[in-house]
Structure 1
Amino acid sequence: MRLGTRGTQQKEHGFGQVNGHHGEILQGIFPDDAGRLHRGLVTLPCNIVSSTAVFRPAPGNLVTVPDDKLKAAEAARLTLDSLGLHDQGGHLTVESTIPVGLGMGSSTADVVAAIRAVADAHGAALGADEVARLAVRAETASDSIMHGDLAVLFAQREGNVLEHLGPALPPLEVLSVNTAPGALVDTVKQPPADYDEWEIQAFRPLRGMLRRAIRIGDAALLGRVATASARISQRHLPKPAFEEINAIATSAGALGIQVAHSGTVVGLLFDPRNPATVRRVAEAAAKLDDIGLPPALHFRTDAAEVRHVA
């Protein structure tokens, strides 16, 4: 170890890791405490996929990185500058198991992992709020994965938390469907949803319902919020076979559905505490397969292993 700028302890390499997500439970426009409106979202954690970054400091201010990780390189540079290390550079490598272009946080995960790796390489401890601000500067819009499993209403284009909703969402079992295999959505190029006045007003009670669902652990109420948000999203980024998937969820006894508001995945939500869930998941998976959309993933939000459809 050697001493770096601002007295930080520089190591041979730093490590950063963060889990991905599976789109959102709720996304829209919400007022802050002063009544100002902000775009915001509540992320659905997906702990079975992740990005991992390693940063090796080097003299000079150049950050080298594989060509497909340019946002992560920008995040690394911004992190060095925020630490006062303007004359420092290094080499960044990023490995990820998160599918690209589906709305599962692949870009943000690379960026957050890079920020954490640079900070770790220089012995710096960055809080989630500071990581969020750097992530937004690196990629314009982010999500809340730097906050881990905490349930937060997050302003994705500003990098700040609008409301702390609780320590975590109620546990959910998620059957994931990619509604457009082969299609990729670029979050940055995707224009922000142009919500109308009715939709903006609708987000207020949905926020209150979600707050209550998290406070009392009501997964069924959370499912209703997610389904309502998914329906609003359908006007802005339509998912193929949306109605068919929703009908399958209803017939199989799911709590509801949620979507990636800037991607192609849809999640059928089930209560893992219900003994009928194993049968219901298998029934939904079979029906999805019948319409040509076999589930791509099956996971629990409070676990880190892939589950198998029985």
Structure 2
Amino acid sequence: MYSVAARFTPAGPGDDAGLTVWPSWKSKARHAAELTLTGARLPVRGHLELSGDVPPCRGFGSSTSDVLAAIGAVKDAFALPLPAEHVARLAVQAETASDSLMFVSTAVLFAHREGVVIEDFEHPLPPVRVLGFGCRPEDGGRGTDTLALPPARYTVAEIQQFTRLRKMLRDAVLAKDVGLLGKVATASTRINQRHLPIPALERILPIVEEVGAVGLQTAHSGDIAGVIFDRDDPAVDTYTERAQQMLGDIGIPEQWKFTTDD
């Protein structure tokens, strides 16, 4: 649905302008380029230009998209060997907390403030259809300032539940079990409710069950969520249309659809 592109032009001989970025307010992307150049022992000089359409502060990964595009542009400009694990560490240094978008082939459990993989599930998530929606329509899509949110402090009971969910997720990935994946997502959504609540959650969950969906996911920091369907269910189009109507009926007009790959 959304993307970011970046181009890095190394400075020419005698160019002492330093490292510049456009748009100038993309400070996290600039920092990412600076860290990448410094780590490769290259001059911190040149021009980084970004273009993209990812909505900020909503949970779409806008900051991480900018940062990864910047790192990738520098990497391509100098043909740097940067494995995903190295890119993850650079991304966290640049933006404090990062999504795991740099890992493209397998699902991972990612420490988003440390930049390390806790567990690699060695396979992608099973393919799903998602009906996304803005879960706080009263805010007008203003979103959430991720860095302004205090890190969640989980209870002992929640941590124990995370241990069970991690095993369920591992089983779901290995078995390509969309239903089990949906249960993990819904349980995670309920846990997140204590930290960043969805106002209408108790009205949304019955819709998820009624329309034949497998679960509900939410952004851990943002104002978007998604109803998850089995992509390969013959009735998935009918289920999705029914969910669209029912969400609209409870005052959630902002919606979008996408289907993940195998």
Tell me the TM-score normalised to structure 2 length: 0.94
SS of residue in 1 equivalent to 2:3: strand
Deviation, 1:61, is 7.0
SS of residue in 1 equivalent to 2:148: coil
* 2:129 maps to 1:170: no
Give the structure 1 partner of residue 63 of structure 2: 107
Count of residues paired in the alignment: 255
Give the structure 2 partner of residue 128 of structure 1: 84
* 2:165 maps to 1:206: yes
Deviation, 1:170, is 0.3
Instruction: Check conservation: 1:61, 1:88, Cα contact below 8 A.
Output: no
Write out aligned runs for 1:135-154 (5 A).
135-154=91-110
Give the structure 2 partner of residue 40 of structure 1: none
Write out aligned runs for 1:48-63 (5 A).
48-58=1-11, 59-60=15-16, 62-63=18-19
Greater strand fraction, Structure 1 or Structure 2:
1
Cα gap change, 1:149/1:185 in structure 2, threshold over 3 Å: closer, same or farther? farther
In 2, distance between residues paired with 1:94 and 1:231?
36
- Regions of 4+ moved over 6 Å: none
* 2:232 maps to 1:270: no
* 2:214 maps to 1:255: yes
Cα gap change, 1:61/1:192 in structure 2, threshold over 3 Å: closer, same or farther? farther
SS of residue in 1 equivalent to 2:154: coil
Instruction: Check conservation: 1:256, 1:269, Cα contact below 8 A.
Output: yes
Deviation, 1:295, is 4.4
Structure 1 vs Structure 2: percent identity of aligned residues? 49
Write out aligned runs for 1:1-20 (5 A).
none
Greater helix fraction, Structure 1 or Structure 2:
2
Cα gap change, 1:226/1:53 in structure 2, threshold over 3 Å: closer, same or farther? same
Give the structure 2 partner of residue 119 of structure 1: 75
Cα gap change, 1:149/1:190 in structure 2, threshold over 3 Å: closer, same or farther? farther
Give the structure 1 partner of residue 200 of structure 2: 241
Instruction: Check conservation: 1:175, 1:295, Cα contact below 8 A.
Output: no
In 2, distance between residues paired with 1:258 and 1:202?
17
Is 149-158 or 167-176 further displaced after alignment?
A: 149-158
Write out aligned runs for 1:190-205 (5 A).
190-205=149-164
Cα gap change, 1:286/1:227 in structure 2, threshold over 3 Å: closer, same or farther? same
SS of residue in 1 equivalent to 2:2: strand
Write out aligned runs for 1:27-46 (5 A).
none
In 2, distance between residues paired with 1:149 and 1:237?
29
Query: Mind listing any 5+ residue stretches in structure 2 that lack a counterpart?
Result: none
Give the structure 2 partner of residue 79 of structure 1: 36
Letter in 2 for 1:90: G
Deviation, 1:133, is 0.5
* 2:189 maps to 1:230: yes
Deviation, 1:60, is 3.7
In 2, distance between residues paired with 1:262 and 1:280?
27
